[in-house]
Structure 1
Amino acid sequence: MSLLAYPAADSAPDASPEASAAAPVASSVLPDPEAAAAAVAGQLASAAAATDQEGGFPTQEFDWLRAAGLLTAPLPAAEGGFDLMAPTHTLRLLRTLKHIGRGNLAVGRVYEGHANALQLIQRFGRPEQVRRWAQDARAGHLFGVWNTEAQDGVQLEPLPGGRYRLRGSKTFGSGAGHLSRPLITGALPDGGGWQMFVLPTDEQPTTLNSSFWQPLGMRATASFRVELTGAEIGPDDLLGQPGDYYQQPWFSGGAIRFAAVQLGAAEAVFDETRRFLRELGRLDDPYQKMRVGEMAMLIESGNHWLRGAAEHAARPLAHAEAEATVAYANLVRTAIEEICLRVLPLAERSVGARGLLRPEPFERLHRDLTHYLRQPAPDAAVADAGRFVLHHAAPAYSLWNA
């Protein structure tokens, strides 16, 4: 899923992006990416304020994820990964994403895009492509998905030999200047459809417009406008068939991933609120107890939603019953959005004006989470779930297992 597209500002190009220098890759993947993410979350949180600026990017933090084996964890086991994107590992995937979001929401956003790109490659790539791009991931390359565009969207112009020259740009290109293997969508000529491809940005010319990214929060995601005109790709860079990107349930069903990252940020708000109150000696205040108790209820309900999402995604008919899978994912994203929107004001009331002063983390956490919650079409998502349940007669206790 991508953020809503808005018209880009007039271009003020920066220098062409280069791949960030890859840290040495860990010699082996940790046996449990969830444990690795939990272990690194505190380190991510301690460094989050340093990159919280427009144009910033958590480069060092992704070196930590590389060293922990988390950038290769989404790969198949045969390619040196944990097979984190397999349906049977969905709960571990969601908890991994939650821990990274708990540490730094900007890192969680970019990491979710990395995992999404590797999942699409595994699902739609030819075996030789899966091997090639897995090798890139093991070498330290950062993947992601750039789909959102404005009026000057990406066009694929045919060249001899099955090659294409790109024309146009993408907006909200998270990780721009740091992703060296973005998965991008573009229009084929003569109505040929919407085609995925992977662009090696360390080899092909692209231009960044950082002035596009002046956000409320999520500053460190470097979600710039990326001008792709002049770059070229070959037939081996094309992924899948036209239209594959929008296949359900994978397109809308992926909402459970960003919801997990969001819930991680809500957990961070909860944990920081308790720390702040302890330091002030306000643990016996009855009103603080009431607010924190309500926050605990909300956070735990979010964890139950993640477990439900994992169970639903792992059921044998998840792909065949795409409509039900998408409807349930829409329930999950809606419920977790509501949880986050209730946690934030409870935390604000608990910490008061003093807690919203830097260097306390609440101001940044509030901005980042508020911004990241603005995923596309929230009303349509819950309406789609309502449409599904209205047209199915199964009683509530078996509605999602029928």
Structure 2
Amino acid sequence: MNSIQADPFVRNEREEQIASRSDRLAAIFAKRASLHDREGSFPFGNFDDLREAGYLKLTVPEEFGGEEASLYEMLLAQERLAKGDGSTALAVGWHISQILQMRIKQSWPRKLYAEFCREAAEKGAMINQFASEPSTGSPSRGGRPQTAAVKTEGGYLLTGRKTFSSLIPILDQFTVTAFVEDEERVGTFFVRKGPGVSIDETWDTLGMRGTGSHDLLLKDVFVPEDERIDSCEAGEGAAAGTGMSDHGGALLHIPACYLGIAWAARDFAVKFATEYRPSSLQGPIAELPHIQQKIGEMESEWITARTLLYSVADRWDRIPAEWAFMRPELGLAKTVATNSALRIVDLAMRIVGGSSMSRSLPLERMYRDVRAGLHNPPMDDSVITMLAQRAIRECRECK
């Protein structure tokens, strides 16, 4: 029985096709992952394969030639892709999740939105939004960007530095947040690579080394007035739609990625345990009680985290009216998944033993990669605070 047939979260033929494509791509990426990790190089070849397979149009609306995947379907695709290479999955996850958010918010100018979606579907154009900065940290903490947007004839001039700019080596366009001096508020701008845009190759990290998350430098970069994203209200020059916020739904691509890495580590450890037979034993180490204990603990963590992630995604897809209320659960799904992934990979290394630290095996890379999940939004403390505040609010409203 293959992994798709055995996976209870693959519910129909369309989801099976989405999962199968990711499995095929993951098998290819797994062969390259070690080299890109060692070199800290960006996996351009992986993105050629993603484009050729049609993966880059996964969440693009059908009207523009895309697959219009639901959140649930996006997570299925991402989790399985990460089994091959976590860096590639996390990086492309920012692209497909941004397009999912665009589809929901419908805040882009109508013409720009249609043009980009067609480019994404037909040519594999990609996008990401850059908001983090050295002095303000994660935008989820509410810091005001130091990147400035100054009004000029016909548009704006943007100057600043963005950090954690995943995908920047391969992007021809992206969106950035900047403080609009004349308005005393933050704006969002569609920027194309060109004069004034450069990359400072700062990305040299413990894990997720292949995401290409270098610093982006902007120096008097001109953005036309009609390519400012946030200034266009839905239904008034914007793409027709609800103008809704997804309240963090699209960010579930993050926990899906880390669970995919953990899934690969789990598979590696279980296979090792069933095949490794030291001379001191009659059978493989999988027959030892303490090894079975660790395998059982991995299964407990993995099943619990996946069940929460997919149940939350299914509810999010079915009941948009509850999105605002679900925000704490969305955050909880992320924190449970990333912390479970850490535990699963740790257990996998304990099962394999000292050889798990060898760079000739994938576990030490997986161990480093899953740690990055602690630093992706939302953070653990923010999620706990959201859960507490909601419980307190509900208690007061019941009085």
TM range (shorter): 0.7 to 0.9
Q: CA deviation at 1:249?
A: 4.9
For residue 142 of structure 1, what is the aligned residue in structure 2?
126
1:243 to 1:146, Cα distance in 2 relative to 1, 3 A: farther
Deviations 1:242-267 (A, max 9, x none): 899xx985253333221111111111
For residue 256 of structure 1, what is the aligned residue in structure 2?
252
For residue 234 of structure 1, what is the aligned residue in structure 2?
224
For residue 282 of structure 2, what is the aligned residue in structure 1?
none
1:129 correspondence with 2:136: no
1:389 correspondence with 2:352: no
Larger mean CA deviation between 120-129 and 329-338 belongs to 120-129
Give the SS at the match of 2:164. strand
Give distance in 1, aligned partners of 2:266 and 2:16. 29
Tell me if structure 2 keeps the 8 A contact 1:192–1:242.
no
Q: What stretches of structure 1 move > 6 A for 4+ residues in a row?
A: none
Give distance in 2, aligned partners of 1:168 and 1:49. 34
Q: What residue identity is the alignment partner of 1:214?
A: D
For residue 159 of structure 2, what is the aligned residue in structure 1?
167
1:53 to 1:208, Cα distance in 2 relative to 1, 3 A: farther
For residue 149 of structure 2, what is the aligned residue in structure 1?
156
Give distance in 1, aligned partners of 2:358 and 2:179. 47
Give distance in 1, aligned partners of 2:100 and 2:71. 12
| Structure 2 counterparts to residues 369-384 of structure 1, below 5 A | 369-376=370-377, 377-384=379-386
Tell me if structure 1 keeps the 8 A contact 2:149–2:158.
yes
Give distance in 1, aligned partners of 2:323 and 2:186. 21
Q: CA deviation at 1:75?
A: 0.5
Within the candidate set 65, 73, 77, 1:92 is matched to 73
Tell me if structure 2 keeps the 8 A contact 1:153–1:170.
no
Tell me if structure 2 keeps the 8 A contact 1:51–1:57.
yes
Deviations 1:193-243 (A, max 9, x none): 222222222x34322221x32311111111111111132111232223389
Q: CA deviation at 1:278?
A: 3.3
| Structure 2 counterparts to residues 77-226 of structure 1, below 5 A | 77-84=62-69, 89-122=70-103, 123=105, 124-137=107-120, 138-151=122-135, 153-161=146-154, 163-201=155-193, 203-210=194-201, 212-226=202-216
Deviations 1:55-90 (A, max 9, x none): 411110111111111101111001111111xxxx22
Bigger RCO of structures 1 and 2 (CA < 8 A, at least 6 apart): 1
Larger mean CA deviation between 118-127 and 171-180 belongs to 118-127
Give the SS at the match of 2:50. helix
Give distance in 1, aligned partners of 2:26 and 2:395. 44
Q: Gapped runs of 5+ residues in structure 1? A: 1-28, 395-402
Q: Gapped runs of 5+ residues in structure 2? A: 1-13, 136-144, 235-242, 278-284
Deviations 1:364-386 (A, max 9, x none): 11111112332243211122112
Deviations 1:323-373 (A, max 9, x none): 412111112112112311321221121111112102100111111111233
For residue 309 of structure 1, what is the aligned residue in structure 2?
312
Give distance in 2, aligned partners of 1:64 and 1:352. 35
Give the SS at the match of 1:217. coil
Give distance in 1, aligned partners of 2:329 and 2:114. 33
Give distance in 1, aligned partners of 2:365 and 2:356. 11
Q: CA deviation at 1:142?
A: 2.3
Q: CA deviation at 1:49?
A: 0.7
Give the SS at the match of 2:92. helix
Give the SS at the match of 1:153. coil
Q: What residue identity is the alignment partner of 1:355?
A: S
Q: CA deviation at 1:171?
A: 0.7
